Amino acid sequence: MSLVDRRIGLLFAGFLLLLSFAFARSLYLGTIKGDNLARAANVQQRAEEVVPPRRGAMLDRRGIELAISEPASDVSVTPYLVKDPVAAARKLAPLLGKPEADLTTAIARRDTGFVYLRRELPAEKADKVRRLRIEGIALAPSEHRQYPRKWLAAQVLGLVGTDGKGLSGIELARNEQLTGAAGLRRSVRDALGEPLEVRDVLPAKPGKDLTLTLDAQIQDRVEAVLHDLGATFSPQGASAVVLDPRTNEVLAMANWPQVDANEPGEAPASALRNLATNFTYEPGSTFKAFTVAGALEDGTVEPDEQFGLAPTIQVADRVIGESHGRGTVTLTTKEILAQSSNVGAVTIGLKMGDKRFDQWTRRFGFGRATGVDLPGEERGLSLPVEKYSGSTMGNLPIGQGQLVTQMQISTAYAALANGGVLRPAHVVKAIDGEPVPTPKGKRIVSEQTAREVRGMLEGVFAPGGTASEVTIPGYSLAGKTGTANKFDTKLGQYSKAKYVASFVGFAPAKDPRLLISVMVDEPKGQIYGAQVAAPAFGKIARFALPYLKIAPR
């Protein structure tokens, strides 16, 4: 055999050997390892991911967007897959909005196989991250909750956590309707990770949209008034509620300090609380309207009944005087309420008796939650009649010695404004376009009694009344000021420096269509409701009455 033939034979033998090895290898991979490799291919090329549903939007009564959800992605890393953590962090930092050093530390971790780098990254930036094609960086679909009006009604709307669940406010109270149902998506990718096929196996079901009773324009005005009030009196906090007393729809509910709902972490935790429902205080003279209403309904007093009132009145070991000193006077029931006489209110309360007084306190809704459709509502505190002391009836008729919420005061005054029917306030008007029924009410006083008390409350704005400086040309007003000492738990006595100033009023007085409540916790410089809260009522009413096309009379 020639040299050439031998070389050809060797070459052929070599090819035959390689071919045999390839055949054996393919047989091994196709049979023994086939199932494992098929599973690996499926894992690498096929993927399933949960698709979060679009969270329902929240709109004001005129369709203005107050809360919306936008497509986003959660960005995570599998640290051991990233070859160069420093380079990856340098590219990601400007897109994720995080310090490069923090990202480097997270990406370089070796004690875990999964780390979130950023939650709810807006879709535009998420696409840029995806185009970087950094091995080990993954994106999962999510949503970014956005509040287009920023601070507008932030404490009422509430917040959503990174898991997409409501944490407070309406977001919490209506979480089930807003959330919807998640979907399932399957995708097939090529060897480079590019999608070849994407299919929604189970489409996500979006959450329901809520139309609220809030009016963004009135809410905006109320927020501005509270902002000015906060700048002037530097209180611990302040809140305002605007209702339509005919239905108890909440047209506005605002708190100070303000919070940007898109940046809640920048505000102190106390500012996130909705003071209208989650803060209790002693109501002071605003409560006198219910003392008088109960006495009128019982027939204990008449509107024009006269009382000879000394400068002070003693109840057991307590001596009660007026907020401003005076001599002996004769006042009618009507004048007692208009001039906010402490001695007169206590006199009427004593005439009514403690048991009937307690019954009327509870009939107006104090001592229990009002049932407003917001979470975490406080109940307040009304002392059981069996625990009254000898001096208790020197406190309660003038609004000291019990705790209320602003929502309780607002709905109780709404009952006087609408003719005697007490019903819960509500903030959700419709769900996916379906109207929410107006909460049922309960008659607590007669129309005549409600009308008589409204007439008395007009006197608060008349000469000699506690809010005589507040006027709105063309409109008759009714309301009541309140100034209450705060109880100092450390000293075990009422503070001489800390007060809650408040005002509740409605208009027009004869046929109320607008009710406004203002509460200011620990104002500085001035303490009286007439000086602090009543002017805020006037500013809100001057805007809201013509805005709602309520004609002057």
What are the residue ranges spanned by the domains of the chain? 48-212, 216-547
Task: Give pLDDT, residue 507.
Answer: 95
Identify the bridge partners of residue 188 per DSSP, sorted by sequence position.
46, 197
- Range in 185-199, 351-365, 464-478, 509-523 with the lowest mean pLDDT: 185-199
The tokens describing 438, both together, are 């107006």
Rounded to the nearest integer, the mean pLDDT of the chain is: 89
CATH topology of domain 48-212: Penicillin-binding protein 2a (Domain 2) (3.90.1310)
CA–CA dist 150, 491 (Å, integer): 41
Tens of pLDDT along 97-131? 999 899 988 888 888 888 899 988 988 899 999 99
Nearest alpha carbon to residue 56 among 41, 43, 68 = 68
Give helix 85-96 / helix 123-132 axis angle, nearest 10°: 160
Task: Give pLDDT, residue 10.
Answer: 66
Tens of pLDDT along 403-414? 999 999 999 999
- Which ranges constitute the DSSP H helices of 260-340? 275-278, 288-298, 333-338
Distances (CA, A) of 512 to 87, 131, 294, 501: 67, 61, 21, 23
Q: Is it true that domain 216-547 has CATH number 3.40.710.10?
A: yes
Tens of pLDDT along 251-283? 999 999 999 999 998 888 889 999 999 999 999
Tens of pLDDT along 416-457? 999 999 999 999 999 999 999 989 999 999 999 999 999 999
* Torsion 242-248-251-253 (CA) sign: positive
Q: How confident is the model at residue 162 (pLDDT cuts 50, 70, 90)?
A: confident
Neighbours of 359 (CB within 10 A): 15
Nearest alpha carbon to residue 308 among 286, 335, 288, 284 = 335
Task: Give pLDDT, residue 181.
Answer: 84
